[in-house]
Structure 1
């Protein structure tokens, strides 16, 4: 009995039980590829998730950013317009404590993306100096080189457009994006404790990425 019971329990656990840990949802359209993946002896349908397409973005010096070009980086995104003292200022101010929390974790990057493709370098530099100066490797203030309203709606799944009078309407959400360019969370600045939730769920995503990407041992 002493020999048989441990072996029986080991086989039963591997056949019946499964490890469960907190995992964030994946937003956007989902389709089945028709393939099957085997996980812990089980056949699981392969799912193709909505992925954000990389887009060219530039900083105040005209240098291209690495937005969504690194497959080891968790990204937090929000929109803004440099001369907007309303929603833009609130979004920039509110995310600053979260940036501070992750400033030394190179796997987390923050992007504040201007909707105005004609944003001047001086305006971007002013935003950079006012909010992100202390975080040159963590927080990036950038703009596109052409209108990105359709891109934002199709990829970020949030609203953004320009009114006839030249003013901008855009979402009050931050977006959490995983290393596979999938949306893992929306965080409404107007909702109570959303910034705490954003910070907590960045940590959750870091754990998931660590589980899915174990450290590679260099072979000599």
Structure 2
């Protein structure tokens, strides 16, 4: 009888211990699983400064940071229409530089972007911009001829020019791309070899070098990553507007 009572006592203690410890164990387990299930976020490039304000999220305080944003400016597209670059806060953008007199490098940039734009053409949340750095020569009429064969309208793809904007300065200071007149030959321009990914807040989220074979695949994948982030941020945007 004593052994039976002792066994019952031990069983009762074990059950009590499980009841007391199990919730804590499950809490730790869920938190660890949650931490390992975080979404991938792309980096934000450019200058960053603290705004001096603080936001609260999930009971914690975070210092607000102001990130580099590409300003909204007006361009003219290949159809002669005025395009605000970029004023739509519901799309992400892929941008690069080119000019039509460059028969090799610029054409390669366009051809390879065409493959990405074709793969993503069914998603209206993704826009593509090819910006000419030679606005004196690259009129809308010239761009329209240059863009023939790419079916750019089907791919949310605009070829842009603007004689009223210092494109070289804009490219260097805002897109953070190389852009300058060739000191050896003033008829030629030196431009960056990267595509730039911008989020819906006009922040730079990625650079993708044309000269590396895997970069276009990475660009396409990170466009999808950014689309997920944009989707997850929709409630936040709605809350801020209210």
Q: TM-score of the superposition, structure 1-length normalised?
A: 0.88
Root-mean-square deviation (CA), in Å? Answer: 2.5
Structure 2: gaps (5+ residues): 1-17
Counterpart position of 1:201 = 222
Distance in structure 1 (CA, Å) of the matches to 2:57 and 2:216 = 35
Distance in structure 2 (CA, Å) of the matches to 1:154 and 1:175 = 13
Equivalent position to 2:121, from 94, 103, 123: 103
Q: Contact conserved, 1:172 with 1:190, CA < 8 A, in 2?
A: yes
Q: Contact conserved, 1:127 with 1:141, CA < 8 A, in 2?
A: no
Other structure's SS at 1:85 match: coil
Report the Cα offset of residue 204 of structure 1: 0.3
Counterpart position of 2:108 = 90
Distance in structure 2 (CA, Å) of the matches to 1:61 and 1:99 = 19
Count of residues in Structure 1 that have an aligned counterpart in Structure 2: 215
Q: Contact conserved, 1:80 with 1:91, CA < 8 A, in 2?
A: yes
Counterpart position of 1:171 = 192
Distance in structure 2 (CA, Å) of the matches to 1:157 and 1:139 = 21
Q: Contact conserved, 1:58 with 1:145, CA < 8 A, in 2?
A: no
Q: TM-score of the superposition, structure 2-length normalised?
A: 0.80
Equivalent position to 1:149, from 162, 165, 168: 168
Other structure's SS at 1:97 match: helix
Structure 1: gaps (5+ residues): none
Q: Which has the larger radius of gyration?
A: 2
Distance in structure 1 (CA, Å) of the matches to 2:169 and 2:210 = 23
Residue 52, structure 1, aligned to residue 77, structure 2: no
| Greater helix proportion | 2
Equivalent position to 1:112, from 120, 126, 130: 130
Q: Contact conserved, 2:72 with 2:86, CA < 8 A, in 1?
A: yes
Residue 135, structure 1, aligned to residue 150, structure 2: no
